[in-house]
A and B are shown apart, each in its own frame.
Chain A
Amino acid sequence: MKKFLLFIGVLVAATLATNEASAQIQVGKGQISVALESNNTYYAKDKTLEDVGLIKPEERVRGDFGSNDYLKVDYRLGRFSAGVQVDGYLPGLYGYDLYTFQQRDSKLSAFITKYVQWEDQNWGVRLGDIYEQFGSGLIFRTYEDRNLGFNNSLAGARAYYNFNNMVNVKVLAGLPRLYDIRVNNPVWGADLSLSISDMAGWYDGMISIEGSYVGRYLNTKSPRDGFESTLLNMVSGRANFEYKGFSFRGEYAAKLNEDIFHASFPNSKGSAVVIDLGYNYKRFSASATFRRQENMNTNIMLTDPAIGGGNTFVYIPILTRQHTYSLANLNPYTSCTSHVGGEIGGQIDVYYSLRNPKVRSKYWNFHANFSMFNTLDHYKYDIFTWEPTMEIKGRNAWIEFNVDVERQWNKQLKTTFLYAFQRWDQALAKSDDPNEHYCTSHIFVGDVTYKINKRHSIRVEAQYLSSEDYQGDWVAGTIEYNFAPKWSFFVSDMWNCEAMGDPNHDADYDNYFDLENWDDVPGENLLLHYYQVGASFTHKSLRAILSYGRNRAGYVCSGGSCRYQPAYTGANLSITLSF
């Protein structure tokens, strides 16, 4: 801990010493840049949460302090660049999948990624850790998301060649990263993109066709009974079209070998269709996405039980609106890919902006969104035994409609109003009882920002969730006071203000690693306040956020993937810095 603080101190001093945070360090003719991110939590004792079983002190196996840290150093000289990133878990924060996979009490862990790269006019080569995506990522995507503790970079080689923007070829191969180990299951692939419009000399719009192939070989044998295939092949074909505000993107992908889940799965090959339509005209825009996918979730390593969202090199995001207000995110859709084999559905977004181009400080923005997903498979499976637990064919897993209106009245005042209707299937999401009913929520949010003068502003947010199901009604509020450009202070509270109709209803607090305790707690004891108080400071590229509060157990979602965060009370310090 001491070392760590010293380390941070040195970095902060380094930034201040260079005076210009954006300046970077010159070494010969090359340049070095450095970025640091450090997320620290001190876990406090909270008897209220312990009494209702939401905190189990015996699960705090790594002590009361956690720290996820990332230090990245890059060197660049002309077309050459090289870099190294150190991820340190000192020890890791609770709620990251890293520890559902590893020994849960391991104190310290670190992982280093590195690369060298040459980027020429029309071609490039990279050795080391590779972040790449083919098309929308349906059969291949390696990326990093620190919110989720996710990084599946491929250690290997990648090369690409681009011929006059008409033909673009990429090839790559390597070993994927799974949390903090490198898995000896090689993954390789190739991607070809042909720009028809460039070939035809048509520059008013864009037409392209693309195709990809990805393979994976299993060196580490699956512990699941009956699973025998070691080689997996996946292909994808895509067509893209854009002309005068209209866009079409279509993709078909298939998993050609049997893979995933249990051998008793009725159909172990996979396929997916994604269609994306967009239209923009002046200040109106609309987009619609349709997706049908079955058994396309592909693991880096086959393990029993499943080990969280990080065990994949494909990207099948949850296609619903990711909300920024806490109550609209209280029970997010977490997709039918983990223990239910597939889904069909989509979403529609419509935007309209009403504004006078001469008066930029006054406008209305309207936005509506609709999303819906149904299950495709016959059964839901137990994530430990892979036995079918429930018949689910054709069930509606999720439906949502939301609308928000933003009004900038003048340079000082801005208001936002949001309404969302959400309905999710409790049987699919949380239990195995097909008679469990749908949970319906109506969510209302009002948000006002008032700029007092050039430096001072205040933001107030009020939210209400009305529901007859699950955890009943919630209210939430936030007050934020800003001193531009450096300081911001906030207090917030989220309160489960009314239990469901039956006060003895179960507190099924959705921790599926702890199923046996679901029925122990009467609902009324869960009428808890989840408060937060905090401050943030920014100076050039340094940002520090300090907060203290109680955090609800639930899903933390980022970029279409989610992780389960257990409840805790504590202090957080997050620092990001680059120079």
Chain B
Amino acid sequence: MKKFMFLMMALVMGFTASAQSLPDVKVENQEGKVVSIKEIVDGTPMIISFWSTTCKPCIMELNAIYSNLDEWLEEADFKVVAVSVDDARSVSRARGMVANWDGYTCLFDKNQDLKRAMNVSLTPHTFVVDGNGNIVASHSGYTPGSEQKLFEEIKALK
């Protein structure tokens, strides 16, 4: 236990912080093909949101972003990437639900490899990523209205 505390302190004090980049992990896209998460980096900033069919606040957050999307896109260019962490049991249900979110890039992380690589413990968990694939902000949880914060972070990337 002590060793870990020292490690933490050393890390905080001894090293500088820098932007984290997306890991190279494979997920399924909407067509059922395996793609690397790095392939979605194309110069456009994005909001990456981890969700599942049994996570109500996740769906509320994605719906809230959806409601504002037209207005937000007038002010900033970005895309929304919804990563479902549903496993084989509910992935077909997830594929059905994403039909409601036209305009989103939907990915399926069936054995939660990306979730693990990005250190997501609980959903919802949202990342703001710049056009080069660097993670600039990370948020756990959702309360109605907190989607505004995501938009502010996207706008700040300009």
Contacts and interface: CB of A to CB of B under 8 A. Distances in A.
A409 to B, nearest CB: 12
B92 A289 contact: yes
A416 to B, nearest CB: 9
A32 interface: yes
Interface string B106-140: 00001111001101111001011000000111111
Nearest to A22: B138
A428 to B, nearest CB: 21
B92 A483 contact: no
A578 B31 CA distance: 32
A86 B21 CA distance: 24
A349 B87 contact: no
A42 to B, nearest CB: 20
Contacts of B137: 20-22, 540
Contacts of B143: 457, 482-488, 538
Interface string B133-151: 0011111110111101100
Contacts of A21: 137-138
A538 B121 contact: no
Contacts of B42: none
B95 to A, nearest CB: 6
B88 interface: yes
A365 B67 contact: no
A542 interface: yes
Contacts of A459: 144
A320 to B, nearest CB: 9
B127 A457 contact: no
A485 B17 contact: no
Nearest to A208: B32
B97 interface: yes
A14 B92 contact: no
B89 A349 contact: no
B99 to A, nearest CB: 5
Contacts of B9: 10, 14
Interface string B64-92: 00111110000000000000001111101
A contact residues, range: 35 or more
Interface in A1-36: 3, 6-7, 10-11, 13-14, 17-27, 31-35
A321 B89 CA distance: 9
Interface string B45-59: 000000001111000
Interface stretch (A97-105, A278-286, A512-520): A278-286
Contacts of A17: 12
B40 interface: no
A206 B33 contact: yes
A278 B144 contact: no
A351 interface: yes
Interface stretch (A70-78, A262-270, A467-475): A70-78
A136 B4 CA distance: 37
A119 interface: yes
Contacts of B89: 317-319, 559-560
Contact of A559 (B11, B87, B144): B87
A360 B119 CA distance: 32
Contacts of B128: 22
A207 to B, nearest CB: 10
A24 B17 contact: yes
Contacts of B117: 74
Given A11-B8, A485-B149, A541-B138, A578 B88 contact: no
B144 A484 contact: yes
Nearest to B33: A206
Given A14-B8, A27-B15, A37 B121 contact: yes
B11 A560 contact: no
A138 B87 CA distance: 12
B156 interface: no
A35 B144 contact: no
Given A22-B135, A287-B96, A322-B90, A484 B11 contact: no
A578 B56 contact: no
B90 A19 contact: no
A361 to B, nearest CB: 4
Contact of A133 (B17, B111, B135, B139): B111
Interface in A298-318: 315, 317-318
Nearest to B116: A131
B121 A143 contact: no
A511 interface: no
Contacts of A283: 99-100
Interface centre among B102, B121, B135 (most CB of A within 10 A): B121
Given A17-B12, A33-B119, A365-B100, A10 B111 contact: no
Contacts of B102: 357
B60 interface: yes
A242 B103 CA distance: 20
Interface in A437-480: 449, 451, 453-457, 459
Given A24-B20, A286-B96, A543 B138 contact: no
B93 interface: yes
Contacts of A411: 67
A18 B12 contact: yes
Interface in A189-223: 205-206
B74 to A, nearest CB: 13
A283 to B, nearest CB: 6
B121 A141 contact: no
Contact of A10 (B5, B31, B145): B5
Given A32-B11, A322-B90, A457-B144, A72 B119 contact: yes
B20 A71 contact: no
A492 interface: no
B111 A23 contact: no
A315 B9 CA distance: 40
A311 B20 CA distance: 37
A155 to B, nearest CB: 16
Contacts of B140: 538, 540-543, 576, 578
B15 A26 contact: yes
Given A35-B120, A165-B34, A486-B143, 15 more contacts: A10-B5, A31-B20, A71-B4, A131-B113, A132-B111, A247-B95, A322-B90, A351-B100, A360-B68, A449-B144, A455-B145, A540-B139, A542-B140, A560-B89, A578-B120
5 contacts: A74-B117, A135-B88, A286-B96, A484-B146, A559-B86
The 3 closest A-B pairs by CB, nearest first: A484-B145, A485-B146, A317-B89
